[in-house]
Amino acid sequence: MTTSAIAADEIDAVLTEWYEWSQAYEPALGYGRASASCRDFRISNQWMDYDDLSETVDRQLRAATGEAVDPLIQKLTLAHRVAVMTAVRNFVAGSVVFCNPRSPATQDADYAEAKRLLRPQLITKGLLASVG
């Protein structure tokens, strides 16, 4: 496996985490689900089992990754953002289900260019290991 293939897999994994985090957002509509007196209550972790703790840690890691990657995605050009979203949605689906509505002929090239632009920024944020 070449170095560029490893980097591509790492970038794909980071972008997939970002996508899953971004899709989990739900706006708070209507009334809150908790009274103002109990809104910030957090139960102690001492009563959690290992599965609950593991799920909490995974959610926190996904949120940290998503919050770090989201501003980088927003700085990309529209063509690159559409290419990233199309590719990552297909990764999550496990098959080629979605196609780029704006430029299907340049999807692969736009996605490769977006990853090339994101790579140094992801390394700077500590989300990728630098190679070489």
pLDDT of res. 37: 67
Contacts of residue 97, defined as CB under 8 A and 6 or more positions apart, other chains included, come to 89, 90
pLDDT of res. 1: 34
68-93: pLDDT as tens digits: 999 999 999 999 999 999 999 999 99
Query: How many Cα atoms are found within 13 Å in the side-chain-facing hemisphere of 118?
Result: 31
pLDDT of the chain, 132 residues: tens digit per residue: 333 343 448 999 999 999 999 988 666 666 666 666 666 666 666 677 778 778 888 888 889 999 999 999 999 999 999 999 999 999 999 899 999 988 889 999 999 999 999 999 999 999 988 765
Q: Please say whether the beta carbons of 82 and 106 come within 8 A.
A: no
Distance, CA of 7 to CA of 15 (rounded, Å): 12
Contacts of residue 32, defined as CB under 8 A and 6 or more positions apart, other chains included, come to 39
pLDDT of res. 4: 38
Distance, CA of 89 to CA of 108 (rounded, Å): 14
pLDDT of res. 66: 92
Distances, alpha carbon 87 to alpha carbons 19, 55, 130, in Å = 10, 26, 23
Q: Please say whether the beta carbons of 96 and 90 come within 8 A.
A: yes
How deeply is 112 buried, as exposed, middle or buried, from its count of CB atoms within 10 A (0-12, 13-18, 19+)? middle
